[in-house]
Amino acid sequence: MDAQSLRCFLRIAELGSFGRAAQVLNLSQPTLSRRIALLERELHAQLFVRHQRGISLTPAGLTLSTRALSVVRQLDELQEDVATLDREPSGSIAIGLPPSLVAVINGPLIEMYSRKFPRVNLFIHEGISNLVGDKLVDGELDMALMFSTRSHLRNTSVKILATEEMVLASAPARSPSKPQLTMSDISTLPLVLYKLPNYIRWRVDVAFQQLDLQPKIASETNTLSMLLELARRGVGSAILPRSAVQQDVSHNLLTAIPIRGMSVKWTLATRRDREHSPAIQELIKCLEALVLKQIKAGKWKASLQTRTGATEAKRRAL
């Protein structure tokens, strides 16, 4: 099985026609058909079903299309990495970033890196940790800044960067007057929460269950923007990392009260088959330098992870 045959297969699957794929690939249709026939013989499986309306993928073809895209992408990236070892980093990087850090980390990171390494094409996927973790394992992303979850991320190296406290975010008129809250305090308040599956929601549910408490859930949603909007309108209070509400707090739209014993760890997760890429190594350096800068400047109210803690965390993730 060679990369060119996989590229031909993917193009046919994309266009739904051997004829159109042959034109795009600048090959004759008989040549393209022979390539696919050899690929099917090698795999001992039929990949396409031909019918009057064109072609469709067989179950084996569907499976191959899911995996082949990642394989071809990795081969292209490997070629780029080897070719640029002694030159300025180039190629492409797909990175997952969290919505809650868009102002303090995400935006400054992409701006810094793009200016420093203009030959690298960045694809930014913004999403919650559960989703970016899945995309990382599937090969759709090369690296991600995400929460440190208990889930094992296959073929991924993980390093804890920082710890951040969680807060109760409320409309000022509905904010509790205490300087710090317990989960018992919060159990009496109407809440707006993420809908499962979501790491923050899982943490909240576990905290209530450990105290045998039943939360008062006013509403659930799957996006940070809606969660903040509902909290601003006083529908309920939200439980989030401080960075997610910092901008609203600075504009007096929300208050943020620390929750005793509740914090999250931010980790950098990188696919092992990509972590030695020069472009990715430079992006990691930029991210670590930015985290240090933003915390020391007070722009991100988090604490740095110690070297010992990070090493131990990485050992447990392997």
Q: Give 164-184 pLDDT, tens digit per residue.
A: 999 999 999 999 999 999 999
Specify the range with the lowest mean pLDDT, choosing from 69-83, 157-171, 173-187.
69-83
The pLDDT tens digits of the residues spanning 8-57 come to: 888 898 888 898 888 888 889 889 899 899 989 999 999 998 887 778 89
Position 64 pLDDT exceeds 80: yes
* Residue given tokens 């949603």 in the structure block: 221
Task: Decide if domain 3-83 falls under CATH 1.10.10.10.
Answer: yes
Residue ranges of domains in the chain: 3-83, 91-162+265-317, 164-263
Q: How far apart are the first and last CA of the chain?
A: 30
Q: Could you tell me which of 277, 261, 271, 263 has the C-alpha nearest to residue 317?
A: 271
The pLDDT tens digits of the residues spanning 234-276 come to: 999 999 999 999 999 999 999 999 999 999 999 999 998 888 8
Asked whether 230 and 120 are in contact (CB, 8 A), the reply is no
The pLDDT tens digits of the residues spanning 188-232 come to: 999 999 999 899 999 999 999 999 999 999 999 999 999 999 999
CATH superfamily entry for domain 91-162+265-317: Periplasmic binding protein-like II (3.40.190.10)
Mean pLDDT over residues 65-92, rounded? Answer: 74
Q: What pLDDT sits at residue 128? A: 87
- The total of other beta-carbon atoms located within 10 Å of residue 179's CB is 7
**Same CATH fold assignment for domains 91-162+265-317 and 164-263:** yes
Confidence band for 130, pLDDT divided at 50, 70 and 90: confident
Q: Percentage of residues in the chain with pLDDT exceeding 70?
A: 92
Asked whether 264 and 147 are in contact (CB, 8 A), the reply is yes
Looking at per-residue pLDDT, the higher value among 152 and 292 belongs to 292
CA 142 to chain centre: 9
* Alpha carbon distance 208, 28 (integer Å): 65
* DSSP notation for 56-122: EE-HHHHHHHHHHHHHHHHHHHHHHHHHTTTS---EEEEEEE-GGGIIIIIHHHHHHHHHH-TTEEE
Position 150 pLDDT exceeds 80: no
* Alpha carbon distance 194, 55 (integer Å): 42
Position 312 pLDDT exceeds 90: no
Specify the range with the lowest mean pLDDT, choosing from 59-63, 163-167, 172-176, 286-290.
59-63
* Alpha carbon distance 54, 101 (integer Å): 46
Q: Kindly list the distances between the CA atom of residue 44 and the CA atoms of 9, 38, 58, 208, in Å, as whole numbers in the listed order.
A: 15, 10, 13, 53
Looking at per-residue pLDDT, the higher value among 290 and 309 belongs to 290
DSSP β-ladder status, 143-147 and 255-271: antiparallel
Phi, psi angles (nearest 5°) of residue 167: -130, 160
CATH code: domain 164-263 is 3.40.190.290
Residues whose CB is less than 8 angstroms from the CB of residue 217 and which lie 6 or more positions away in sequence, other chains included: 190, 191, 192, 193, 236
